[in-house]
Chain A
Amino acid sequence: MSHPTTSPLIVTQGCLFRLLMVLVLASVAGCAFGRATLGDKIKQEDLASLTKGVTSRAEVVARIGAPDRILHANEREILQYYHYDLKSSSLLLLLVNFSRFNIKSDDLYILIDREGLVDDVLYGRRTDKLAFQAWPFGE
């Protein structure tokens, strides 16, 4: 029974690949991950408790807490709550370091009408798409 022979070039490429992997592992001096947040996370059950035309301003504040910012627009009072999230990653090689910091926010706006009742609730969640990325190039 004959066995297929492997060419010297393929054997050499296999050795080179292993050497390259050793090189990559040897050159990775370390990596770092970081996380920072600002503001309380907005809970889904708090959002579900808000009913337009029923929930009062006092009930909103009792449930969610004091707003981070109070605005006035179109004859309505707007209570703003925000939550910022930061994820950082660093790939520390012996010769080159790569780092990336990504920040996104969740914003909740509660519009209060003249009667002091919830007129509308605007909520946008961006932090669920926040990712750890070390590679700073590209998109």
Chain B
Amino acid sequence: MSFVEREIQMPHARLGLLLTFTLIDGCGFADFARLSVNEPITIDNVAFIRPDQTTFAEVIARLGTPDEFLDSETGVFVVYRFLDARYSRINYGSLASAWSPVTPDLITEGLGMRLNRLTIRLSPTWIVHHIEFSNQPEQPSGFTLVPFVH
């Protein structure tokens, strides 16, 4: 077989295989879904904040308005919330519908939720006292395809 003939036939084979797997079932082999609430705030986004110097007006100008105000005896807390949740589901049993009259279910699912919160404590004069994240903001999140491993 010449090089050209091989180049012609192999992509057809790959496409045929892909076509077979694509049309093998109409009920879906895999699902990937994602839910995002607000833009994530990173450490770089808050690098401009200097404790006891930066004003609340400067924070709003850079980060926007917070999601919540909380009052306490030591000052005001403002909270920015953001969420990134990823869900995946694979039904390996759906592949059997190509040759089986019964479609068994063999499903693995994974849900990863990264709910993060940036809390900024303000003094009575609306100056930033300190900031803190509830989780590591730079920690990557991904889809969990296999639920049996950490």
Contacts and interface: CB of A to CB of B under 8 A. Distances in A.
A47 interface: no
Nearest to A12: B8
A72 B70 CA distance: 8
Contacts of A107: 65-67
Contact of B21 (A72, A92, A95, A98): A95
A74 B22 contact: no
Interface stretch (B29-37, B45-53, B102-110): B29-37
Contacts of B34: 99-101, 136
A95 B65 contact: no
Contacts of A12: 7-8, 11
A8 B18 CA distance: 23
Contact of B7 (A9, A23, A72, A108): A9
Q: How large is the interface on B (under 10, 10 to 19, 20 to 34, 35 or more residues)?
A: 35 or more
Interface residues of A, number: 41
B15 A71 contact: no
A98 B32 contact: yes
A29 to B, nearest CB: 7
Nearest to A106: B65
B123 to A, nearest CB: 9
Given A73-B71, A136-B86, A105 B66 contact: no
Contacts of A62: none
Given A8-B4, A73-B69, A126 B28 contact: no
A106 B34 CA distance: 21
Interface string B48-67: 00000000000010001111
Interface string B16-32: 00110111111011111
B15 A20 contact: yes
B39 interface: yes
A71 B64 contact: no
A3 B35 CA distance: 56
Interface string A96-124: 11111111110111000000000000111
Q: A26, A71, A80, A94 — which one has the most chain B CB atoms within 10 A of its CB?
A: A94
B8 A8 contact: yes
Nearest 7 interchain pairs by C-beta? A124-B65, A136-B34, A124-B64, A99-B33, A73-B71, A73-B76, A107-B65
12 contacts: A9-B4, A16-B15, A71-B69, A92-B28, A94-B23, A95-B21, A95-B25, A96-B28, A101-B33, A104-B38, A104-B39, A124-B60
